[in-house]
Amino acid sequence: MAEKKTVIVQVKRQASPKDRPHWEEFELPWRPHMNVIICLRDIAERPITRDATPTTPVVYESNCLEEVCGSCAMVINGKVRMACSALVDRLAQPIRLEPMTKFPVVRDLAVDRSVMFENLKRMKAWVPIDGTYDLGGGPRMSPDLQAKAYPLSRCFTCGACLEVCPQINKHNNFVGAAIISQVRLFNMHPTGAMHARERLEAIMGPGGVHDCGNAQNCVKICPKGIPLTESIAEVNREAIRQAVLGWLLGK
Amino acid sequence: MSEPRVIVVGGGLAGLMSAIRAAEAGVPVDLFSIVPVKRSHSVCAQGGINAAKNTKGEGDSTAKHFDDTVYGGDFLANQPPVKAMCDAAPAIIDLLDRMGVMFNRTAEGLLDYRRFGGTLYHRTAFAGATTGQQMLYALDEQVRRFEAESKVKKYEGWTFLSAVLDGTGVSRGICAMDLRTLEVCTFPSDATVYCTGGIGAIFGRSTNSVVCTGSAQSALFQQGVDYANGEFIQVHPTAIPGEDKLRLMSESARGEGGRVWVPKQPGDARPPLQIPDSERLYFLEEWYPTYGNLVPRDVATRAIHKVIFELKLGVGGEPAVYLDLTHLSREVLDRKLEGILETYQKFLGVDPHVEPMKVFPGMHYTMGGIWVDNETQATNVPGIFAAGECEYQYHGANRLGANSLLSCLWGGMVAGPAAVRHARGLEKGCESVEPSVFEGERKRQEARNERLLLQEGSENPIAIWKEMGKWMTEHVTVTRHNKDLERTDAKLQELLERYNKINLSDRSRWSNQTLCFARELFNMLVLARVITLGALARNESRGAHYKPEFPERDDKNWLRTTRASSADGRIQLRYEPVDTSLIPPRARKYGVAK
């Protein structure tokens, strides 16, 4: 009888931000349609390494498991992606799981991405409304504009674009493509556009759009196929226009 | 009293709306969420949100929306709050539109609407097939703005453990745990709004997200908050089964013209598109000519079960039916359904533009939940409010598609201001409560953690969870038999016994997900019993609750709300009348127009 098919998974473990990382290897029974989340759940149910050493379940973030919440981004076989849609049968083995490197590790594969939400706050990434009272409908919008904006608004702040960006490093506080793309989204909205200047001023500041090095890795890695480089170019153009205008008007 | 304080637990649509409305009323809000709020389960809502805007000249009205909702829920919902929700819906859409939700548009630049289950009108506004995500983001952005103005303080990465109740049974705050440091803290509040979502994890696998365990609702139940109509569980007709989750294929697929069918010949092995139309059974269209593929979910799910398990016509002999979009134009599919088509393609490697999808029903939603009053979303415990899926008010015995986003937002719009009014109306606020009340609760919860972390046991919490899920899915979903429900409750009690002997494979004191899961597991088991006992007692069939032994709706005996309460650890059921003052109950049939 043929040997039972198995899946070999190697996980980079780190007990806390202060601890040193180390690798553990697991051998799991193969089943059809497995993804990386199922592997991690198998380990949680039976946390024993391949060399029969008991260990702890792997800590990681996950929620929707259908690639719409942005939680389970991690580096899988050297490439950042969402664990839920990483199908085992399409991955080379051993499958190597590591935390993203551009964010502080919390434990194992869980990292702290709060900086992205803080940057959204800095960029005033919202449509300012007067209140939740009944003030009638919103502005009319052409189907074309909606078709352009909708893909941008699917960004789920997973951080993959930051992970692959060479400008995100210890010597730079670049906000990254996701945030710039959100600036474009809100500047595109008819009401949001009324406050475009505030966002452009913020995005022209330190760590803003000018820190993009044009490596274009972001657009290739985005799990939602968001046209991030187009967003960066567009925000850059707007920013320059605003700067020139400001200079001409002596502001 | 000093400045009132409001806490909102849960950062999905209902929680964010509650927080926005409370902050807007001028009261600072502490908002607690297990995950960053932008990752809440509301992102999974796909198809849209209902509002009778009548933009297609069909003669739709809020009165018709109200009637469809009550009829779709098989008359179990109290009618005045449902009417209030349907009446408010058009203005809610306007608000979302103003917030920048990227709804699909018509050529004139207005919002587009599509059809959904349980109605004959184009009443559902949508943003592609990721409407929940788009709406959650819009509210997340508004809350971020309040956060920047210091009107809302977020505690993301905290899990709710228990309410802090004073000696008179009044809520004075919450006890929560930081998921990284495992620090247990209490937070005082004059009113708390719970928006803690669904309970899918009780069924093991469901369409719900990982955090939808019902743990918070159960903890509140154990502390004296009543739970209503727990037995009403929605099983969505079209999901893709997976070992980790059942991935939803939105009803909007059928709203846009998708057709459900199986080959007429059992076990037909031909590729689907080689099977001619005459050899296909479009069973929903055949059995329900008026509503066709857009019958409500309970009806569609039972029909699929019948086709597969009674008629033995599952695709290729497997438990699956086809959901077919291949006859629709690629342009329409990509503009209106892209999100779900992408999901199917990514997870199954099959392109639904060219090949029919294979789907099977999956646990999706709880109509039942925390008992709230008809006017203010208040529970029976003073100071505790609830909104969203975690409460029971709006959907009766079966929820119509695209009504859940609406009920989340409407519930939040009511609960936020109601919490503020309650807080402002108190003679003595939480600051007057003895510190020992908070200290006592914190110590109780800490002791529970210590016991779990230190005890040497023989039971694996994940194994117990899987067993619970298997029993609940098999016996407490689509078809229910009393003898199986009795066995399920006995099994749940056995699992609760075994829970006392669980052994944690992680005893560390930093970011210990195993500990949190173990805590949630206990609460899931208790709530599973509430659901099962409610189902056992209700000897009729109504909406999603179907008992072959009692196949008819029995208004004489069962047009009543199940109200479960906890007394000294025992689950007690009592019943209260349903307010049917606006629409007299009538028979529910989808083969003909209403």
Indicate yes or no: CB of A66 within 8 angstroms of CB of B39. Answer: no
- CA-based nearest distance B378→chain A, Å: 21
Indicate yes or no: CB of A41 within 8 angstroms of CB of B144. Answer: no
β partners of residue B10 = none
- State residue A26 phi and psi, 5-degree precision: -130, 150
What mean pLDDT is predicted for residues B200-229? 98
Selection from B70, B120, B62, B78 nearest residue B590 by Cα: B120
Selection from B188, B212, B167, B250 nearest residue B41 by Cα: B212
Q: Which residues of B touch A147 (CB under 8 A)?
A: 335
Confidence of residue B594 (pLDDT cuts 50, 70, 90): confident
Peptide bond into A227 cis (omega under 30): no
pLDDT of B593 reads 78
Amino acid symbol at B418: A
Domain ranges of chain B: 6-232+367-433, 238-361, 436-558
The domain A114-130+138-248 is placed in CATH, from the list 3.40.47.10, 1.10.10.10, 1.10.357.10, 1.10.1060.10, at: 1.10.1060.10
Question: CA nearest B156 in A: which residue?
Answer: A114
Could you give the 3-state DSSP secondary structure of residue B505? coil
Q: Quick: pLDDT tens for B36-49.
A: 999 999 999 999 99
Are the beta carbons of B129 and B123 closer than 8 angstroms? no
Q: Quick: pLDDT tens for B348-376.
A: 999 999 999 999 999 999 999 999 999 99
Question: CA nearest B155 in A: which residue?
Answer: A114
Question: CA nearest A19 in B: which residue?
Answer: B510
Question: CA nearest A40 in B: which residue?
Answer: B244
CA–CA separation, B528 and B545 (whole Å): 15
What mean pLDDT is predicted for residues B279-307? 97
- Nearest-CB residue to B211 (from A31, A63, A127): A63
Indicate yes or no: CB of B244 within 8 angstroms of CB of A44. Answer: no
β partners of residue B113 = B125
Are the beta carbons of A55 and A38 closer than 8 angstroms? no
Are the beta carbons of B48 and A74 closer than 8 angstroms? no
pLDDT of B26 reads 95
3-state secondary structure B191-225: EEEECCCCCHHHHCCCCCCCCCCCHHHHHHHHCCC
pLDDT above 60 (res B333): yes
- Residue that wins the pLDDT comparison between B275 and B339: B275
Residues of B classed as catalytic: 297
β-pairing, B357-366 with B321-324?
A: antiparallel
Are the beta carbons of B468 and B528 closer than 8 angstroms? yes
The 10 Å Cβ neighbour count of residue A214 is: 9
Domain ranges of chain A: 6-111, 114-130+138-248
Indicate yes or no: CB of A140 within 8 angstroms of CB of B145. Answer: no
Confidence of residue B569 (pLDDT cuts 50, 70, 90): confident
Q: Quick: pLDDT tens for B119-167.
A: 999 999 999 999 999 999 999 999 999 999 999 999 999 999 999 999 9
Are the beta carbons of A182 and A120 closer than 8 angstroms? yes
Question: Does the B6-232+367-433 domain belong in CATH 3.50.50.60?
Answer: yes
CA–CA separation, B287 and B303 (whole Å): 9
Q: DSSP alpha helices (H): ranges in B374-433? A: 404-425
pLDDT above 70 (res B248): yes
In degrees, to the nearest 5, what angle opens at C-alpha B346 toward C-alphas B343 and B350? 100
Instruction: Give the CATH class of A6-111.
Output: alpha beta
Peptide bond into A94 cis (omega under 30): yes
Q: For residue B194, how far is the Cα from the chain centroid?
A: 14
- Nearest-CB residue to B514 (from A57, A63, A67): A57
Indicate yes or no: CB of B144 within 8 angstroms of CB of A186. Answer: no
Q: Quick: pLDDT tens for B488-520.
A: 999 999 999 999 999 999 999 999 999 999 999
Confidence of residue A2 (pLDDT cuts 50, 70, 90): low
Cα-only R_g, chain B: 23
Q: Which residues of A touch B145 (CB under 8 A)?
A: 124, 126, 128
Q: Which residues of B touch A44 (CB under 8 A)?
A: 462, 505, 514
Q: Quick: pLDDT tens for B157-201.
A: 999 999 999 999 999 999 999 999 999 999 999 999 999 999 999
Q: Which residues of B touch A107 (CB under 8 A)?
A: 180, 510-511
Among the ranges given (A244-248, B114-118, B306-310), the one the predictor scored with the smallest mean pLDDT: A244-248
Q: For residue B281, how far is the Cα from the chain centroid?
A: 32
Residues 184-243 of A with CB under 8 A from B: 186, 189, 191-192
Chain mean pLDDT for chain B? 97
Residues 47-106 of A with CB under 8 A from B: 47, 54, 56-57, 59, 61-71, 84-85, 87, 106
Indicate yes or no: CB of B38 within 8 angstroms of CB of A47. Answer: no
Are the beta carbons of B540 and B558 closer than 8 angstroms? yes
Give all strands (DSSP E) within B217-301, no chain letters. 227-228, 233-240, 247-248, 259-263, 280-281
Confidence of residue B1 (pLDDT cuts 50, 70, 90): low
CA–CA separation, B584 and B586 (whole Å): 6
pLDDT of B170 reads 97
CA–CA separation, B195 and B123 (whole Å): 26
pLDDT of A240 reads 93
Give all strands (DSSP E) within B91-196, no chain letters. 113-115, 122-125, 152-156, 158-165, 171-178, 184-188, 191-194
Question: CA nearest A108 in B: which residue?
Answer: B511
- Nearest-CB residue to A63 (from B111, B209, B343): B209
- Cα dihedral B154→B160→B166→B167 (10° resolution): 180
The helix (H) or strand (E) run that includes residue B49 is strand B49-50
**What's the pTM value of the predicted model, to 2 decimals?**
0.97
Indicate yes or no: CB of B514 within 8 angstroms of CB of A56. Answer: yes
User: Which of A42, A150, A155, A226 to probe by mutation at the B interface, max B CB count within 10 Å?
Assistant: A150
B436-558, CATH topology level: Methane Monooxygenase Hydroxylase; Chain G, domain 1 (1.20.58)
Chain mean pLDDT for chain A? 96
Indicate yes or no: CB of B506 within 8 angstroms of CB of A56. Answer: yes
- State residue B317 phi and psi, 5-degree precision: 75, 5
Amino acid symbol at B325: L
pLDDT of A251 reads 57
B238-361, CATH topology level: Flavocytochrome C3; Chain A, domain 1 (3.90.700)
Indicate yes or no: CB of A143 within 8 angstroms of CB of B130. Answer: no
Q: DSSP alpha helices (H): ranges in B538-585? A: 555-558
Q: Does A119 touch chain B (CB under 8 A)?
A: no
Q: Quick: pLDDT tens for A21-75.
A: 999 999 999 999 999 999 999 999 999 999 999 999 999 999 999 999 999 999 9
Q: Quick: pLDDT tens for B522-555.
A: 999 999 999 999 999 999 999 999 999 999 999 9
**Class of residue B186 by CB neighbours under 10 A (exposed 0-12, middle 13-18, buried 19+):** buried
Residue burial A154-176, b: 16+ Cβ < 10 Å; e: rest: bbbbbbbbbbbbebbeeeeebbb
Both structure tokens of A240: 């320059």
Could you give the 3-state DSSP secondary structure of residue B186? strand
In degrees, to the nearest 5, what angle opens at C-alpha A237 toward C-alphas A193 and A198? 40
CA–CA separation, A23 and A58 (whole Å): 11
CA–CA separation, B213 and A211 (whole Å): 43
- CA-based nearest distance A126→chain B, Å: 5
Indicate yes or no: CB of B130 within 8 angstroms of CB of A154. Answer: yes
